[in-house]
Amino acid sequence: MSLITAPTRNSLPSLAAVALGSVRGRQFSVVTRHNWEKLRPTLLKEIEKCDFLTFDFELTGLLLSQEDRHIGLDKVYEAYCSGARSFMPLQMGLCAVTRHDRGWRLAPFSVYMWPQRSTTINRPAVLQSAVNGSSSSSSSPGQSKDYPESDAFMVSVTAMNFLSEAGFDLNECIKNGVGWLRPDQERAKSTTVILVGTRAAYCGDTANEAAGYGKKAASEATPASPEIAPGPDLDMINSVKGTIDEWLRNDPNGTNNLEVPMSSAFQRLLMHSVIAAEYPNLYSYSSRRASDGERMLVVYRSQDQLYDTQIKEIEADLQQTTVLVGVRSLLDAAADKMIVGHNCFLDVLHAHHRLYDALPSTVSEFKDKWTERFKGGVLDTKYIAETHEFLSPLNPPATLKGLCDFMAQRHIQEHSEAAWSRPGLSADLSSCRRREDTGGASIQPPHAARKLFNNEGSDSELSSDGETTISLSEKPAIDMSHDAGYDAMMTALVCLLQLSEICSRKGIDMNNQLVFKDVGSLAVNKKCLSVSQLLPISINRVRLVKSQPNVLNIAGRDETDMQRHFYMTNFPTSWTKWEVMKVWSPVWVNIAFIQPSAGHASPVGSCWVMARNDEDAESIKQIYDMMDRDHRSFDLYTYDEYQKHKDDLSELDAPPSPSSPKVSPPVRPAPPAPEKRRLMEAVRVG
C-alpha cells in the first residue's frame, strides 16, 4: 500500500492544502465483487487501526412522505424508516482516518453494493404491502413485517436522475456490486454448513447425495452389490471398478486418494453402493473440485482420510460464508470506532436495516439496538456546523461540498496569515489499491484548495509574502462529489477542519491531546481530551431535515422531550438566526426556521426554539413572561400549546389571500402576577 503525499512549498502544510490539493498519481479505491476478496483484508486492516471512520451511502431514493415538515419524534422516525425500508443503497463510501506523524492519513474507498442473488426473494407485492403499512395474509408467521430479505425495492426518478448526472455507473453496480449477509443469514448459513457436513459423515441416503455429500462405504454387515441391467450404468460401474483396482495396485501404501470425475448424482450414488459391497475396506465421498467446480467421486483408504476431507470442506464453506458477509464486515470492524457522517440519520437507518436487522417500530428500540452494536459514538458534521457555538456564527453552507469548500478556504486563509504562531495540520491520502490495479483512475479533489499547487494546469500563485491566493470562481474539470467514497473523504476533511477550529479556539493541541475514545478507557496522559468531552452536546446527535424536533440523540433520550421545544412566531421576516438567539441570551438555544411552502412568502417569521435541558427550558419561559406583553415583537408557545392551536398557527404562517380575514394568534395564559414576576426577576439577577 503506497502512502501518497502532496508536494508543498511550506515545511508544514495545512490540512486543506494537502488533503484537498490536486496531486498526480493519487489513487481512489473502487471495490467490486471482482476485487472484493483481494482488497477485503486491506480494507479491514485500515478500519481496525483508524481513529475514526466516515461513511456515506448513495441511495435509490430518500423519503416517501411528501409532507413539508414532520412534527413529533414518532412521526419523524416513521417517515425516515419508510424511506429506509423502501429504497436501497447502491454504493457505500468509507474513509478511514488515522493519526499519522503529527498529521492524519485518509484512506477513502467506494464499494458498489448489490444483494446476494442466492439470498434474496422476489416479493414485490410484499414490499408494497409493507410500504402501505398492511400485512400480507399469505406471508408466513415468522416473517418480519419489514421484509428486509426482499429483493424488490423502490426507485425515485429524481434520485436516479441525480445519480446519472453525477456520473454514477448503475451497470457496474448491478453487474459487479458486492453482496452481504445479515447476522441472522450468516448464522443460518453457517449452521446449515455444519449440519450438512456432520450428517454427511454418517449418512449416505439420497437426500445427502443430492446435497453433494457422500457416504461411508464400509459397514459392519457388508451389503450386497446392486443388480444392474446391461447398459451405460453397468459400463460406468465396470470402468470405475477397473480404475479402483489399478489404483490399489499402483499405490499399495494409500498415500493418495482416487478422484473420478462423475457429473451424474445417480451414478455417484450407485457407485457408493457398489464400493460398500465390493470394497468394504474403502470409503467413498462425493465432492466438487475447487479449481473448476467439477463433481467427483472420491475414494479413500481410511475413514480418517474421509473425515479430514469433510472437515476441510466444512472449514472452506465457513470461510466462504465469512466472505459472503460482504460489505457488512467493514462496519463490523468499526463497532468500537467513532462513526462520522454528514446529515447521516438516513444513512444510519439504511446501514441497520439492510446490513443488520429490520428497523424496529419505535425509535427507543432502534437507539438500544444501534448503541449496543456501535459503541464508539456518532458525529454529524452538519449538526456540528449548525449548532456549535464556535461554528454556528460563521453561517457555513448547508451542503457537504459547500461546507468542505468553506472550511478549507477559511483554514487556509487563517493559517497562511498566522503560520508562524499556529501551524495547520498535515494529511496524506492513502490508496487501498496498488497503482497497477487502478486502471488510471484518480481522485479529482474538491476545488477549494487545489489552486495552492502549480500542477495540472493550476493558475494559483504564491505571493511574495507567502500568502496564498485562492479563487473559487473557476469550476473543476471533474466533480466527483456524490460518489460515496469521495463524499466520505469530504466528510472526513470537514470533521478534521471543524475539530481543528474548535481545538484552536480552546487552546488544545489537536495532534497530541485529542483522542477519539473515552479517556477513562485509555492509559493516557491526564492532559488528553476525548472528542465526547470536547463536544458533549454534539456527540451522538444527528440532524433531522424538515422535522421537528430537528435533532435526534441516538444514545439518549434528552431530545425526545418535546417540552424543551417552543414555537416562536409573529416576528419580522427580516430577523436572522443571530437576532432570534439574542432574544434568549444568556440562554444558549438552537434555532430551526420554518420555511414557507415553495412559491409562497410567509407574512410573519416563525421558528422552533430548542433548549438544551429542562433548566434552560424553564428560563426561556421566565424570560418570555417577564417581557412587557404590550411591546413584545413575537409570540411564543410551548409544544403543548402548539399542538392545541396548530391549525390556527398554520393559518397565521400561510400567505394571506384577499378574501380571507386576518387571523389573530391564539391567546396565551396571562403572565405571572407582579409579586411572582418581581421574585423571578430577583432570582434571574442573582
pLDDT digits (tens, 9 = 90+) for 436-487: 454 444 555 455 534 322 233 333 333 333 434 334 344 444 456 678 999 9
DSSP 558: G
Q: Are 315 and 371 within one domain?
A: no
Q: Are 168 and 212 within one domain?
A: no
Residue 217 confidence (pLDDT) above 90: no
Q: Mean pLDDT of all residues in the chain?
A: 75
Strand partners, 52: 97, 338
Q: DSSP 3-state assignment of 185?
A: helix
Rounded mean pLDDT of 102-115?
A: 89
Q: Between the ranges 252-256, 391-395, 430-434, 667-671, where is the mean pLDDT highest?
A: 391-395
Out of 321, 354, 375, pick the residue that ends a domain: 321
According to the model, what pLDDT value does residue 136 have?
Answer: 39
13 within some domain: yes
Read off the pLDDT band of 668 (50, 70, 90).
Answer: low
Which CATH number fits the domain that encloses residue 348?
3.30.420.10
Read off the pLDDT band of 215 (50, 70, 90).
Answer: very low
Considering the chain, what percentage of its residues have pLDDT values greater than 70? 67
Rounded mean pLDDT of 9-30?
A: 42
Residue 333 confidence (pLDDT) above 90: yes
Q: Are 339 and 249 within one domain?
A: no
Q: Between the ranges 23-27, 207-211, 663-667, 677-681, where is the mean pLDDT highest?
A: 663-667
Q: Are 71 and 93 within one domain?
A: yes
According to the model, what pLDDT value does residue 199 have?
Answer: 57
Which CATH number fits the domain that encloses residue 586?
3.30.70.330
> What torsion, rounded to 10 degrees, do the Cα atoms 156, 157, 158, 163 define?
90
Q: DSSP 3-state assignment of 514?
A: strand
Find how far residue 596's CA is from the centre of its chain: 32
Q: Which helix (H) or strand (E) holds 164?
A: helix 157-165
Burial class of residue 561, CB neighbours in 10 A (0-12, 13-18, 19+): middle
Read off the pLDDT band of 602 (50, 70, 90).
Answer: confident
Q: Around Cβ 37, how many Cβ atoms within 10 Å?
A: 11
Q: Are 241 and 347 within one domain?
A: no
Read off the pLDDT band of 548 (50, 70, 90).
Answer: confident
- In whole angstroms, give the CA distance from residue 529 to residue 422: 19
- In whole angstroms, give the CA distance from residue 625 to residue 538: 30
441 within some domain: yes
Out of 270, 289, 321, pick the residue that ends a domain: 321
Find how far residue 380's CA is from the centre of its chain: 12
Higher-scoring residue by pLDDT: 579, 220: 579
CB 610 within 8 A of CB 662: no
- In whole angstroms, give the CA distance from residue 524 to residue 591: 38
Parent domain of 285: 186-321
CB 236 within 8 A of CB 244: no
> What torsion, rounded to 10 degrees, do the Cα atoms 468, 473, 477, 479 define?
100
Q: Are 50 and 170 within one domain?
A: yes
CB 346 within 8 A of CB 87: no
Read off the C-alpha cell for 302: 481410511
Read off the pLDDT band of 306 (50, 70, 90).
Answer: confident
Burial 631-660 (b: 16+ CB within 10 A, else e): eeebbbbbbebbeebeeebeebbbeeeeee
Out of 321, 347, 369, pick the residue that ends a domain: 321
517 within some domain: no
One-letter identity of residue 454: N
- In whole angstroms, give the CA distance from residue 323 to residue 36: 9
Q: Which helix (H) or strand (E) holds 579?
A: helix 577-583
534 within some domain: no
Higher-scoring residue by pLDDT: 117, 136: 117
Q: For the chain, how many helices (H) and strands (E)?
A: 23, 21
Q: Are 37 and 163 within one domain?
A: yes
For the chain, the domain total comes to: 3
Q: Are 392 and 336 within one domain?
A: yes
- In whole angstroms, give the CA distance from residue 660 to residue 387: 38
Checking DSSP bridges between strand 338-341 and strand 529-530, what pairing results, if any?
unpaired
343 within some domain: yes
240: left (phi over 0), alpha (psi -120 to 50) or beta: alpha
According to the model, what pLDDT value does residue 143 have?
Answer: 41
- What separation in angstroms does the CA of 108 have from each of 340, 404, 493? 13, 16, 11
According to the model, what pLDDT value does residue 340 have?
Answer: 97
Radius of gyration of the chain (CA): 33
126 within some domain: no
Residue 231 confidence (pLDDT) above 80: yes
Q: Are 89 and 102 within one domain?
A: yes
Q: Are 295 and 332 within one domain?
A: no
145 within some domain: no
CB 179 within 8 A of CB 115: yes
Which CATH number fits the domain that encloses residue 303?
3.30.1370.50
According to the model, what pLDDT value does residue 300 have?
Answer: 85
DSSP 326: B
The residue whose grid cell reads 427507543 is: 364
Residue 81 confidence (pLDDT) above 60: yes
Residue 621 confidence (pLDDT) above 80: yes
CB 47 within 8 A of CB 330: yes
According to the model, what pLDDT value does residue 229 have?
Answer: 81
Read off the pLDDT band of 165 (50, 70, 90).
Answer: confident
DSSP 102: T
Q: Are 621 and 672 within one domain?
A: yes
Burial class of residue 425, CB neighbours in 10 A (0-12, 13-18, 19+): buried
CB 559 within 8 A of CB 565: no
CB 410 within 8 A of CB 561: no
- In whole angstroms, give the CA distance from residue 370 to residue 363: 10
DSSP string, 670-683: PPPPHHHHHHHHHH
Question: What is the separation, in whole angstroms, between the first and last Cα of the chain?
Answer: 63
CB 551 within 8 A of CB 590: yes
546 within some domain: no
The residue whose grid cell reads 470425475 is: 261
CA atoms within 13 A on the CB side of 680: 17
DSSP 442: B
Rounded mean pLDDT of 342-368?
A: 94
Q: Is the dihedral of CA 237, 243, 244, 249 positive or negative?
A: positive
Rounded mean pLDDT of 211-228?
A: 55
Q: Are 332 and 458 within one domain?
A: yes
Q: DSSP 3-state assignment of 105?
A: strand
**Using one digit for the tens of pLDDT, what is the confidence trace for 384-405?**
999 898 999 898 998 998 998 8
